[in-house]
């Protein structure tokens, strides 16, 4: 995981290598919410930020830091 955001007292949103996952705070159980480049073994999640409006911006990058690998995504 490369980033975490609070959804509410019981859940967190985590950016992982396969996409956005919801984590149950009490049990730690992860549930895949939105796949992001899950079919691309050359990339992984990277920096993320939560906008004041609640939107979650997250990026991917090449595992080998190669040029042209990676994207930026917006989730609301």
The ranges assigned to domains in the chain are 3-75
- How many Å apart are CA 14 and CA 38, to the nearest integer? 14
Q: Classify the C-alpha dihedral 37-73-71-43 as positive or negative.
A: negative
- How many Å apart are CA 50 and CA 13, to the nearest integer? 11
Which pLDDT value is given to residue 22?
Answer: 98
Which pLDDT value is given to residue 58?
Answer: 95
pLDDT in tens, 19-58: 999 999 999 999 999 999 989 999 999 999 999 999 999 9
Residue 65 — pLDDT band, cuts 50, 70, 90?
A: confident
DSSP, res 71: -
Residue 67 — pLDDT band, cuts 50, 70, 90?
A: confident
pTM for the full model?
0.84
- How many Å apart are CA 33 and CA 35, to the nearest integer? 7
């Amino acid at each position: 995981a490369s980033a975490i955001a609070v959804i509410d007292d019981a859940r967190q949103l985590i950016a992982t290598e396969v996409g956005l996952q919801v984590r149950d705070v009490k049990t730690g159980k992860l549930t895949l919410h939105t796949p992001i480049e899950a079919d691309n073994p050359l990339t992984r999640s990277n920096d993320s930020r939560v906008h004041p409006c609640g939107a979650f911006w997250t990026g991917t990058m090449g595992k080998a830091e190669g040029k042209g690998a990676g994207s930026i995504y917006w989730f609301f």
